[in-house]
Amino acid sequence: MSISYADPAKGFINNVFRDKEPWQIVTITTTTVLAGVWLWNFIFQDESLVKRGRKEIFKLARYVPWIRERIDKELSNLNDLFEKEAIHRLKDITILSRLPKKGMSHDEVLDHVKKCVNLGDYDWTNGSVSGTVYRNDADLVKLMADVYGVASYTNPLHPDVFPGVCKMEAEVVRSSCHLFNGGPDTCGTMTSGGTESILLACKAYRDYAKEVKGITKPEILMPITAHSAFDKAAQYLNIKVCTVPINPHSCTVSIEAMKKAITRNTIMLVGSTPNFPYGTKDNIEAISELGVRYGIPVHVDACLGGFLICFMQDAGYTIPPFDFILPGVTSISADTHKYGYAPKGSSVILYREKKYRHYQFTVTTDWPGGIYGSPTVNGSRAGGIIAACWAAMMYFGHDGYVQATKKIIETTKYIEQELRKLDCIFIFGTPATSVIALGSNDFHIFRLSEALNARGWNLNALQFPSGIHICITYVHTEEGVADRFLNDVKDELMNIMKQPDEPVEGKMAMYGMSQSIPDRSVVTDFVRFYLDSMYYTPKNIETDDQSNIE
């Protein structure tokens, strides 16, 4: 049978190559094989063919001179705009572009730092800002300053020199394990923030999957609402991200879709308690079951809500299980620098078992500088931050956190309930902890954001679909803040509904517009320029040792 099948093919090929010389045959064969391989890769790559086709077209379009000119011009305008904003933000202060020749005095330094901290158009001390500042209390700030002062030059990289700093880190980790119902084998490390906690979990699972299961093309399977820190980790660690859609009504991940998206390359499943955009909590019980059934580690991102949700039961709220109580949950990230009320720069990553944490560590054995083992991303680490985080946890104690949680959840529920009474806006899903996300079917929700902005409120903007959210912190539980917010919302809604079809204006207009740009690489360029502007200093600065720019 194979002969009768092969014969015509043989004849055909011989015919094609009849008049060719051997070098031609070799060249043609090689080229054909290479082209075949390229085509194969192109068709069976990760992204869908249509999506990549579109990307290719936009990429090519940017080579067309007049298109490139237009894009470059827009980008350059945008860059100027960002720089102007940077200048505006810094208008009341001296900008230094080099070291002062003679060192500043204690008072000069402190004076300058105070001025820097007070720059900006928002009053972050009285609840005008969503999230960001989780607690603002003079006694706490004083304690943090004292503790940081004492420990500021310590470094847990040297446990023999600073054993006490290591003890404090170990205690922060152990207490956190206890809060999330970890057993005796539960372990973890402190990190510099949620992003690092997430990055390290991804690294641990990537290396675990490679060594134990031989997975060389790792994939993270996560809800579309999972924090962008996972994308960042994937970019750094060369892992593919597969996103799972959410249920439209509840705004929590679709378990059915997650189950279908599992492949043999899946190294971890992710759920959030809650997620950043909508503040809704994924069904961790179901994700844990998937993890157990398919033998895949499950990471619970409790960065935002961790230090609220673990106290909610004691604060009198019933919540479904989400932590190490569930057998499939293998790691949890929780930010002490959010509702743990520690100063910025601390978070914990916890694992069910040491075997996962081992893959988080990096060890180099052959360096002339010595055998080097390091638990997290940083080599040297800030002992002062560890001490401050420890101090915050000990200062509040279990009861302090429960009381704070109670106040925050009460305030959130009050605001949620009042907002639900208003026509023409809706709330995305059911807020699980302290984030309330708003949308509208009657007008562009960014108009509300602009209007509230003009009244001093700084909220977060959401996209796909457009929305805004407010993250309630302890600062918002102060007398009068919630009602001031609700009244401002009501007033502005009345204004807006007089002309519901007006377009968005101001800064939010650009944000709204950017969602409709199909070529996301242009949006990426926007953001790069924005990031540049954070590091802006004027170019033509005089060369005196302390040049002043007003």
Ligand X SMILES: *[C@@H]1O[C@H](CO)[C@@H](O)[C@H](O)[C@H]1NC(C)=O
Dig out the tokens for 42 from the structure.
């192109």
303 binds, among ligand PLP, ligand X, none (CB under 5 to 8 A by kind): ligand PLP
Total binding residues toward ligand X, as defined by CB under 6 A: 13
Selected from 268, 303, 342, 452, the binder of ligand PLP by CB under 6 A is 303
Residue 505 near residue 443, CB atoms below 8 Å: no
Residue 295, CA distances (Å) to 76, 216, 221 in order: 50, 17, 14
282 is a contact residue toward ligand PLP (CB under 6 A): no
CB of 155 to ligand X, least distance (A): 8
229 is a contact residue toward ligand PLP (CB under 6 A): yes
Q: For the window 509-548, what string marks contact with ligand X as x by the rule CB under 6 A? A: ----------------------------------------
415 is a contact residue toward ligand X (CB under 6 A): no
Of the candidate spans 11-19, 122-130, 393-401, 418-426, the one that interacts with ligand X by CB under 6 A turns out to be 122-130
Dig out the tokens for 469 from the structure.
């959210």
246 binds, among ligand X, ligand PLP, none (CB under 5 to 8 A by kind): none
Q: Which residues contact 322 (CB under 8 A, 6 or more apart)?
A: 271, 273, 281, 284, 285, 300, 302, 309, 329
3-state SS class at 235 = helix
**Amino acid occupying residue 207:** D
Residue of 286, 279, 282 whose CA lies nearest to 304:
279
Selected from 82, 276, 324, 396, the binder of ligand PLP by CB under 6 A is 276
User: What is the DSSP code (8-state) at residue 320?
Assistant: -
Residue 445 near residue 493, CB atoms below 8 Å: no
| 512-550 as b/e: b if 16+ CB within 10 A | beeeeeebeeeeebbeebeeebeebeeeeeeeeeeeebe
Q: Which residues contact 346 (CB under 8 A, 6 or more apart)?
A: 172, 190, 191, 192, 193, 335, 336, 337, 340, 385, 386, 388, 389
Maximum separation of any 2 CA atoms in the chain, in Å: 95
- Contact positions with ligand X (CB under 6 A) in 380-409: 381-382, 385
Residue 517 near residue 523, CB atoms below 8 Å: yes
Of the candidate spans 136-144, 242-250, 299-307, 530-538, the one that interacts with ligand PLP by CB under 6 A turns out to be 299-307
193 is a contact residue toward ligand PLP (CB under 6 A): yes
428 is a contact residue toward ligand PLP (CB under 6 A): no
453 is a contact residue toward ligand X (CB under 6 A): no
Residue 195 near residue 419, CB atoms below 8 Å: no
459 is a contact residue toward ligand PLP (CB under 6 A): no
Burial of 370 from C-beta contacts in 10 A (0-12 / 13-18 / 19+): exposed
CB of 197 to ligand PLP, least distance (A): 7
192 is a contact residue toward ligand X (CB under 6 A): yes
- Contact positions with ligand PLP (CB under 6 A) in 71-110: none
378 is a contact residue toward ligand X (CB under 6 A): yes
Residue 189, CA distances (Å) to 7, 200, 333, 491 in order: 66, 10, 10, 47
Q: For the window 459-488, what string marks contact with ligand X as x by the rule CB under 6 A? A: ---------------------xx--x----
Residue 272 near residue 281, CB atoms below 8 Å: yes
281 is a contact residue toward ligand PLP (CB under 6 A): no
- Contact positions with ligand PLP (CB under 6 A) in 491-510: none
456 binds, among ligand PLP, ligand X, none (CB under 5 to 8 A by kind): ligand X
Distance CA 276, CA 435 (A): 8
Selected from 79, 189, 195, 376, the binder of ligand PLP by CB under 6 A is 195
333 is a contact residue toward ligand X (CB under 6 A): no
CB of 128 to ligand X, least distance (A): 5
Residue 441 near residue 485, CB atoms below 8 Å: no
DSSP letter string, 172-199: HHHHHHHHTT--TT-EEEEESSHHHHHH
Q: Which is nearer to ligand PLP, 384 or 451 (CB)?
A: 384
Of the candidate spans 103-111, 209-217, 296-304, 501-509, the one that interacts with ligand PLP by CB under 6 A turns out to be 296-304
Q: Which is nearer to ligand X, 186 or 195 (CB)?
A: 195
324 is a contact residue toward ligand PLP (CB under 6 A): no
Dig out the tokens for 445 from the structure.
């929700």
| Number of separate helices (H) and strands (E) present in the chain | 18, 13
Q: For the window 16-55, what string marks contact with ligand PLP as x by the rule CB under 6 A? A: ----------------------------------------
Distance CA 214, CA 130 (A): 44
Q: Which is nearer to ligand PLP, 227 or 447 (CB)?
A: 227
The gap from C-alpha 332 to its chain's centroid, in whole angstroms, comes to 15
382 binds, among ligand X, ligand PLP, none (CB under 5 to 8 A by kind): ligand X
335 is a contact residue toward ligand PLP (CB under 6 A): yes
Q: Which is nearer to ligand PLP, 345 or 496 (CB)?
A: 345
- Contact positions with ligand X (CB under 6 A) in 339-368: 345
Q: For the window 123-142, what string marks contact with ligand X as x by the rule CB under 6 A? A: x--x-x--------------
- Degrees (nearest 5) of the Cα angle 251, 431, 352? 80
Residue 213 near residue 191, CB atoms below 8 Å: no
Report the interface residues with ligand PLP, using CB under 6 A: 193-195, 227, 229, 272, 275-276, 301, 303-304, 335, 347
Binding site for ligand X (CB under 6 A): 123, 126, 128, 192, 345, 378, 381-382, 385, 456, 480-481, 484
